[in-house]
Amino acid sequence: MIISNVLKLFAGNKWGAVSIAVSFLILLLLPLLHLLPSDSAFYLSAYWITLLGKIMCFALVALALDLVWGYAGILSLGHGLYFALGGYCFGMYLMREASPDALPPFMVFLDWKALPWYWTGSQHLWWASLLVILVPGLVAFIFGYFAFRSKIKGVYFSIITQAMTFAATLLFFRNETGFGGNNGFTGFTTIMGYSITSPTTRVVLCMLTAVSLMLCFVGLRYLMSLPFGRVLGAVRDSENRLRFLGYRTQWYKLTAWTLSAVIAGIAGALYVPQVGIINPSEMGASNSIEMAVWVAMGGRGTLIGPLLGAGIVNAAKSYFTVAYPEVWLLLLGGLFIVVTLFLPYGIVGLFKQLQHSKFFAKREGK
């Protein structure tokens, strides 16, 4: 039944659905090229496959951010925190794999004798995976509960999420926190016993990311077609009116917020084994704001837009930071300005704007 419902989602726009499906299929199959012999014309090097995996992880975060910003109208400047929390949770497992019987090197360096209590069980993949969902989810739930209960919204909410990320960054920079301080986690060797740098592992991880991305995309699209999604949109447009109608909006917002944090955490967990490092700068305030520009650039509230935005910005970033490192920040800054000034509905909005320019007339009142 769900499948037929999902299929119905795309019924309205057949060509769009087909192109999305084809894109996902390509993303899913592209990593396989890494398994070809390295002299083949279609061979994809480790650099490219890592880049592909990384960008897909970022696209997943962008998707998560679109859920809260595009649909519920809550701009989070702290999604880097949930991303990094997921990454750290999975990183604990990888660190234990790298030194099965001994302490991780940074703890030996600090002269610690035993693992802190919160590392308990992190040598099991299933427990680490559970933590990837539980930790960001719980942090987001507690924070969101207090924030939404007292009706903090708009800019206040954004600034507080930023302050929270800032505080967490300070905390993780400390050695005493037990997460490697400044350097974070690195030096991973194996995952489930397989070498983390072997082509097969890379391909599997990359395909796993593609599958997660696809599932999250379709799942969120389905969710947003349900009444829940409609209520979220109403929260964005006029929360007070909705409250007067009897909806308990804080629980809708809290659900979306927690779900979004969990998706961001999963993205972080997929990111760490592919990139091979996680450190506090990953959750830094500017990283988190950059995520917002991916979403804004692609187009908020469209789900497909953030994927495009994350893809384009990160592709540009990896090109420019190598070719013209000085220019990149200027470009990124310019992008922030251009997108907010001239592309209020992002790239996706631009296409639709060109298709039929009356499209936005209905949404102007916002």
Contacting residues toward another protein, per CB under 8 A: 75, 143, 146-147, 149-152, 154-156, 158-160, 162-164, 166-167, 170-171, 173-174, 240, 285-286, 289, 292-293, 296, 326, 329-330, 332-337, 339-341, 344
For residues 11 and 341, which CB has a smaller minimum distance to another protein in the complex?
341
User: Which region, left, alpha or beta, applies to residue 111 given φ > 0 means left and ψ of -120 to 50 means alpha?
Assistant: left
CA distances from 321 to 283, 318, 332, 334 (A): 20, 6, 11, 15
- How far, in Å, CA of 64 to CA of 260, rounded? 5
Give the nearer residue to another protein in terms of CB position, either 7 or 171: 171
Query: Which residue lies nearer to another protein by CB, 43 or 251?
Result: 251
Shortest distance, position 240 Cβ to another protein, whole Å: 6
Which of 347-350's residues contact partners 24+ apart within 8 Å by CB, and which partners? 347/297, 347/298, 347/299, 347/305, 347/308, 347/309, 347/312, 348/298, 348/299, 348/302, 348/304, 348/305, 348/308, 349/299, 349/302, 349/305, 350/299
Shortest reach from residue 283's CB to another protein, in Å = 14
Q: With respect to another protein, which residue has the nearer C-beta, 11 or 337?
A: 337
When the beta carbons of 174 and 248 are compared against another protein, the nearer one is 174
**Least CB distance from residue 185 to another protein, whole Å?**
20
Least separation in angstroms between CB 265 and another protein: 21
- Looking at beta carbons only, is 177 or 225 nearer to another protein? 177
Q: How far is the CB of 314 from another protein (least distance, A)?
A: 16
Q: How far is the CB of 33 from another protein (least distance, A)?
A: 35
Per-residue b/e over 108-135, b at no fewer than 16 CB within 10 Å?
A: eeeeeeebeeebeebbeeebbeebbbeb
